[in-house]
Amino acid sequence: MMDWTDRHDRFFLRLISERVRLYTEMVTTGAVLHGDRARLLGYHRSEHPLALQLGGNDPDDLARAAVIAEELGYDEVNINVGCPSDRVQAGSFGAALMAEPDTVAAGVRAMRSAVDVPVTVKHRLGIDDRAEWEDLIRFVEPVANAGCTHFIVHARAAWLEGLSPKDNRNVPPLRYELVYRLKETFPDLYIVLNGGVLDLEAAKGHLAHVDGVMLGRAAYQNPYILSGVDGALGPVEQLPASREDIIARLVPYIEEALADGARLHSITRHILGLFNGQRGARAWRRHLSENAVLAEADISVVYDALTHVAETSEINAA
């Protein structure tokens, strides 16, 4: 999710769940090979397990980028074959590669030859009006034969013309049955379902048919839903941290980032949804939105926002 799952957001999400696998926003192979790696690829050690998501179509470049990812300690390298934006299409990668399974297969083969970490693919059901079962198989089979065993499937088609990226997340119908069928057809592949999953109860329902579920915007807009992930995956030694405890653990990170020159808003924009569904959620969002963007904003803005949450809760409970 471009401009969303940056290192600040991932650190915050890791405070909520220790077991969820985190993915970076998509980084192009060109940026990995020639850009500011410290800025683009840096992460906090607590973020593991962590996957780097790459955008690209040249096998050699993908392999070189994968080597860099492995050297930096990433636990997985993922090829994005799902993004439908015009900018990504212009670069001939993302969802446009659904029409070029042999190109994706060549990229997977080159990457697997270069690194030991898992190489995975995130893709759509298909593109435009070709999102049918036969076309999905025509994509998955050669990529699987190239050595990819882990597919993350957004259960929608991607329309490369006529729909904006936002519309592509909502207008094409969800067809979960095709993802289920993919798992039935290829039982040895690890199939993760993505798209339209809003909470853990829905995720649990899908897990009766597939191996995993990816939460995207739902986890960003209402991040505390991830607090139930660890318990859902197995026994845990302690209850999930409260929202207030999560902020208390985030404060030292914010203070360190501010000391290194970060702007408060670059971090707090990711935590606006923490209290969604709770008393004081609106006061929390409003205070952070109005004050964290100020040039002089410091950690007191976060403490004041928490105070507004508490005051609103007390008023409502009175």
Task: Please state, in angstroms and as integers, the Cα–Cα distance from residue 281 to each residue in 231, 289, 297, following that order.
Answer: 25, 12, 20
Strands of 71-111, DSSP E: 76-81
Residue tagged active-site, from 83, 104, 229, 288: 83
Taking CA 141 as the corner, what is the angle to CA 140 and CA 146, rounded to the nearest 5 degrees?
100
What whole-number distance in Å separates Cα of residue 91 and Cα of residue 72? 25
Round to the nearest angstrom and report the end-to-end CA distance of the chain: 41
Beta strands in 211-312 (DSSP E): 212-214
Q: Among candidates 227, 225, 175, which has minimal Cα distance to 196? A: 175
Catalytic, 148? Answer: no
Task: With CA atoms as reference, report the closest residue to 303 among 317, 287, 315.
Answer: 287
Q: Which residues belong to the active site?
A: 83
